[in-house]
Amino acid sequence: MTITTIILAAGKGTRMRSQLPKILHKIANKPMLQHVYDMSRQLENNTIKIVYGHGAELVREKLKDLDATWTEQAEQLGTGHAVQQVIDQFSDADIVLILYGDVPLLKVTTVQKLLKDAGENTLGLLTVKLKNPTGYGRIVRNQNDKVAKIVEEKDATTVEKTINEVNTGIIAVNGRHLKKWLGQLTNNNTQGEYYLTDIIEMAVSDGVEVMTTQPESADEVLGVNNRVQLSQLERVYQAEQAIRLMEQGVTLIDPARFDLRGTVDKLGSDIEIDVNVVFEGNISLGNNVRIGQNTIIINSVIGDDVEILSNCVIENAQVGNGSRIGPFARLRPETVLADHVHIGNFVEIKKSTVAHGSKINHLSYVGDATVGSKVNIGAGTITCNYDGANKFRTIIEDGAFIGSDSQLVAPVTIGKNATIGAGSTITKDTPEDQLTLSRVKQISIAGWQRPIKKEK
Ligand code: UD1
Ligand code: CA
């Protein structure tokens, strides 16, 4: 079976009240259209066609990597008109699957079920029963309970409006039939639009049976028309991901206060995640990882037995086994920490490697540095890596001890087991095993008087 998926994505989305086309609005930091695309990518023997329109240039630019054929529907004259734009892009023998770009939570398992219903003499229609069907097309059945047609809300009689089985818009249909029916659509209706839904009645009169399937949950077919619905779908999506993680053995202290905007590619056992933790991009977590409150982790690899305390921001970093980070630490891109490294509060690390067992516990900036093993960097140490134009590296060899409040003016190398006296400004390489310090001698002035304010 060859499938052609047509994603309808030309609609305006007026109620979003946005400059951004609706389908570029994001669920879990990914455009809605990309969600639909990614889902349909999972189908075998499938080519994807996207009908776009509103915000055309921006849509094409933002989603240029999608492996799909793009067709512009310059004027949005209805869902039937949208499908007509790609009528010569599928063949008679194809099963054509119609999806909506603003229905982002549809599951591939539901689509696979629907596809089973589509054949030479049958059409698959995804419907759902809603407590409040207002706004949707209603599924009208005959006395034998077979689908007879779909009637849009605006064209429905009072009796038809009481029907609570509605059209999700998602259809799987034989290509040859679809071509024929698309040619017969008219816009004789209240909205003056070419309704794709009119093909249902045509199918029935051509003796093609309309088979209905329901999604596992009505959430799957919820569309987004405004930002309230966008936020609701975000929560549905996040809740599902949280459940999946918990099923895989992760403790989430509060699943409602955890957000995954990407994927967890590797997941160890016995991971505990406290409240307000956000993951973005691709995350890998080892065994026995604990993550404290309010921490954000982006595209990073966290080893085994790692403790990340609260309020950390970790991006494009690697954290080795047994390390402890935070609270209030920031690991910026290209930070690579080996095993048993301690990074404490108000420490920023950027583009640096820190070898086994080293500690940077308080108020430091370490950028463009290579830090050896068992190094101790005292509070308030700064690598001066930037002269306003160029960046330079600092090398701190194994076993070095950097006294508090030191500035290491790069390029500079601190030798093995060297000690730097507190408050030093180091501008030249320092020898191994020695104490180096740059400090004005301390003096005391006897008889000195502190200035006194004059009485007014
Ligand atoms: C449509 C269905 C309705 C169904 C509902 C489910 C029709 C006539 N009606 O109604 O039965 O209950 O979806 O949500 O099909 N689009 C285009 N080009 C157009 C018009 C629409 O690409 O010219 C796209 C939109 O971007 C959207 C989808 O098609 O992704 C549905 O369009 P929308 O206007 O939301 O359809 P409804 O009127 O809600
Ligand atoms: Ca409409």
Which pLDDT band, with edges at 50, 70 and 90, does 12 fall under?
A: confident
Which pLDDT band, with edges at 50, 70 and 90, does 222 fall under?
A: very high
380: DSSP letter: T
What's the whole-model pTM score?
0.93
pLDDT value at residue 347? 98
pLDDT value at residue 11? 87
Residue holding tokens 């990614």? Answer: 38
Residues ≥6 apart with Cβ < 8 Å to 335: 314, 316, 317, 318, 349, 350, 351, 352, 353, 354
Please report the atom of ligand 1 found closest to the CA of residue 13.
Answer: 26
Ligand 1: which of 40, 79, 166 to mutate, most ligand atoms within 8 Å of CB? Answer: 79
Find the helix or strand (DSSP H, E) in which 174 lies: strand 165-174
CATH homologous superfamily, domain 250-436: Hexapeptide repeat proteins (2.160.10.10)
CATH homologous superfamily, domain 3-221: Spore Coat Polysaccharide Biosynthesis Protein SpsA; Chain A (3.90.550.10)
Å from CA of 167 to ligand 2 middle: 13
Å from CA of 136 to ligand 2 middle: 10
pLDDT in tens, 230-263: 999 999 999 999 999 999 999 999 999 999 999 9
Nearest CA to ligand 1 atom 11: 137
Which pLDDT band, with edges at 50, 70 and 90, does 406 fall under?
A: very high
Q: Is the CB of 150 under 6 A from ligand 1?
A: yes
Which pLDDT band, with edges at 50, 70 and 90, does 54 fall under?
A: confident
Catalytic sites, residue numbers? 362
Q: Is the CB of 174 under 6 A from ligand 1?
A: no
pLDDT in tens, 123-162: 999 999 999 999 999 999 999 999 999 999 999 999 999 9
Q: Is the CB of 36 under 6 A from ligand 1?
A: no
Å from CA of 52 to ligand 1 middle: 13
- In the chain, the largest separation of any two C-alpha atoms, in whole Å, equals 111
Q: Is the CB of 320 under 6 A from ligand 1?
A: no
In angstroms, the CA 361 to CA 12 distance is 53
Average pLDDT estimate for 83-89: 98
Residue ranges per structural domain of the chain: 3-221, 250-436
Å from CA of 443 to ligand 1 middle: 82
